[in-house]
Amino acid sequence: VQRREQIATLLLEAGKAVKAVFDFLVTNGNAENAMKAVTFVQKNKPEWGNEVLIKGVQRQEESVQLASIEGLVLYKDVSALQAIAEAASKSPKVKAVAKSSCIAIVGAQERKVVFALVKDKNPWVRECAIKTIENQIEKQVDEETLAILKDALKDEAKEVRLASASALAKTKRQDVLQTLASLWKESDPSLRFAAVVAAGSLSDKASEEAIISALSDTDTDVRKAGIMASKQRALKTAIEPLKNMVLSEGEEIAALALGALKAFAMDAMKSDPDFLVKALYSKHKATRLGALDVCEGTTDRRVMNAVSALVSDREKEVRLKALHTLASTKSREAIEGIEKGAFDRDKEVRIYAIQALVELGRPEAIDFLREVIKAEEDEDLKKKAMEAIEKLTR
């Protein structure tokens, strides 16, 4: 096999376009030679590409799989879908590229082919077909399409059910949305997810109650849908449940909940120092950073003390953000917190602390900056401190 690979490589490098050479290298060659064959066939013999690239997808090396998948998109041939789905099931890295590639291939097919793929034996292919319908749903929605999507709500694969729910919600048709919303009390979490997604586009009291209930659902996807629907409708009744989620959920959902609150309830957060202090002391980095955003310009002493504590946070990004937040307060009370940053172990943080004192604009910081100049050995920092004094004395 090694001798045959050497011969095949020589033929390839000589530009001999023999299909057997490509087939052999992609199937039996090492990763480097397989990549050469994949690249060569796309450039010089595209008519052989689909078949050769499918063999490339069936290899074990991610680099060859990814290059082959990206090439197959150009051929738009559904015969490649099974191989792509198989590769995606074994590698998260390949899965990310494969999903968009499959949707692109399916999206290039005629309507009847797409509808047929919704019934494919492979759930990955079925999901991609539903996603394709979703991408086109706002341009074209008829009874046949709706019937197919409603039927897919009963699919055995969770991903297919979720995709179908998302597609149906995008129709924006009140009758469809009401049908979806009526699924809220179903035992299947995928159907509850569908109901909440639809409720986000409705305005009645019953759908609002479903959204609020979703925020405490046992299923993660349903809770996420509840957060997005609360944000979509800017529900005041969701503010307190969302605050609780920020403080009690895992990092991903807590970040989503905080993002929703920032979108429609900034005033409600700013006026709740108890909540802000707890959020600032969260174990999740994303929550601490998000809470610092909300605290900009604060005048509450307790909140300012909590922000000052984050100047010593274990995460550099949080320390920098805390300095920025303190500077935004323009308060004399922030000086002490910013001063801690001037002794940070990281030079960038120390420089930023000096800049934060300038941004704060309090002449009271000048004496401290003089001490920095005396104590600091780094010439860059000394220079920054002198420039800061000059700006504060103007």
Question: 189 with 221: CB under 8 angstroms?
Answer: yes
Q: Return the structure tokens found at 41.
A: 């066939």
Say if 177 falls within a structural domain: no
Q: Rounded to an integer, what is the distance from CA 218 to the centroid of its chain?
A: 22
Instruction: Give the count of domains, the chain.
Output: 3
The conformation of residue 89, written as its DSSP 8-state character, comes to T
Handedness of CA 8, 14, 19, 22 (dihedral sign): positive
Judged on CB neighbours under 10 Å (0-12, 13-18, 19+), 331 is middle
Q: What single string gives the DSSP state of each residue in 284-298?
A: -HHHHHHHHHHTTT-
For residues 5 and 77, membership in a common domain is answered with: yes
Flag whether 70 is in a domain: yes
Q: Which domain holds residue 240?
A: 234-281
Q: What is the pLDDT of residue 374?
A: 84
Residues 277 and 317 in one domain: no
Does some domain include residue 394?
A: yes
Of 48, 77, 107, the residue at which a domain comes to its end is 107
Q: Are residues 276 and 324 located together in one domain of the fold?
A: no
Of the residues 89, 107, 125, the one at which a domain ends: 107
Please tell me the pTM assigned to this model. Answer: 0.71
Supply the pLDDT for residue 275: 98
Q: Residue with structure tokens 């090492």? A: 30
**Given 107, 122, 141, which residue is the final one in a domain?**
107
Residues 241 and 306 in one domain: no
By the 8 A CB rule, do 220 and 248 touch?
no
> In terms of domains, do 337 and 385 share one?
yes
Report the pLDDT value the prediction gives residue 17, as an integer from 0 to 100: 66
In a domain, 169, yes or no: no
In a domain, 174, yes or no: no
Classify residue 150: in a domain, yes or no: no
Residue 266 lies in a domain: yes
Same domain, 324 and 378: yes
Q: Quickly tell me which residue has 């900056």 as its tokens.
A: 369
Residue with tokens 């002449």: 363
The verdict on 54 and 86 lying in the same domain is yes
- CATH code, domain carrying 361: 1.25.10.10
pLDDT at 37: 79
Examine the domain organization and report whether 312 and 393 are in the same domain: yes
| 320 and 257 within one domain | no
Report DSSP letters for 363-383, one per residue.
GGGHHHHHHHHHH---HHHHH
Q: Which pLDDT tens digits describe the chain residue by residue (394 residues)? A: 677 767 767 776 776 667 777 787 788 878 888 888 788 778 777 888 888 899 999 998 999 999 999 889 988 999 999 999 999 888 888 988 999 999 999 999 999 999 999 999 999 999 999 999 999 887 778 899 999 999 998 899 989 998 998 899 888 888 899 989 988 998 989 889 999 999 999 999 999 999 999 999 999 999 999 999 999 999 999 999 999 999 999 999 999 999 999 999 999 999 999 999 999 999 999 999 999 999 999 999 999 999 999 999 999 999 999 999 999 999 999 999 999 998 899 999 999 999 999 999 988 889 889 988 888 878 888 888 899 999 888 7
User: Which DSSP state fits 216?
Assistant: T
Same structural domain, 323 and 387: yes
Residues 320 and 238 in one domain: no
Is residue 227 assigned to a domain? no
Check if the beta carbon of residue 146 is closer than 8 Å to that of residue 171.
yes
